[in-house]
């Protein structure tokens, strides 16, 4: 089995450690990593997986893709809006599509994309344009 490195912490940490032990998968969980350590993790990962079922923006897959990582992200609106064709998508809570997306990503060269369009000003413009029709303007 391939080693798995989880960065962050959450309520599922203990159950993920037990699952990994039961499957004999080498697992490392790191919390409180520095910015440099995070960039290094993105750059050395064979695939960065972002399985969120809800995000406001989805900063992790954006950062990983900007670092040139192969990224697999759940197919949720914020990931689609900001990542477009820069990552491989999978259906949340569907292991088969996750596995297929990882396999697709592994076969691709790293593809860092330009992210000049992800700025505070660009986000404000998108929000403004979405709200104006709702406000009757």
Q: What are the pLDDT digits (tens) for 14-64?
A: 999 999 999 999 999 998 899 999 999 999 999 999 999 888 878 899 889
> What's the pLDDT score for residue 114?
60
Task: Report CA 8 to chain centroid distance, whole Å.
Answer: 13
Residue 117's H or E segment, with its range, is none
**Token pair 């080498």 in the structure block, residue:** 26
pTM comes to: 0.78
């Amino acid at each position: 089995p391939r080693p798995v490195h989880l960065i962050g912490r959450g309520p599922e940490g203990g159950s993920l450690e037990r699952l990994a032990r039961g499957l004999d998968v080498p697992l490392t969980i790191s919390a409180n990593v520095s910015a440099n350590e995070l960039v290094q993790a993105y750059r050395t990962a064979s695939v960065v997986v972002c399985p969120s079922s809800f995000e406001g923006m989805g900063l992790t897959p954006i950062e990983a893709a900007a670092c040139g990582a192969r990224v697999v992200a759940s197919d949720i609106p914020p990931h689609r809006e900001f990542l477009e064709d820069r990552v491989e998508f999978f259906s949340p809570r569907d292991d088969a599509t996750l596995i297929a997306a990882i396999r697709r990503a592994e076969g691709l060269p790293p593809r860092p994309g330009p992210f000049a369009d992800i700025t505070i000003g660009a986000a404000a413009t998108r929000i403004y344009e979405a709200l104006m029709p709702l406000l009757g303007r």
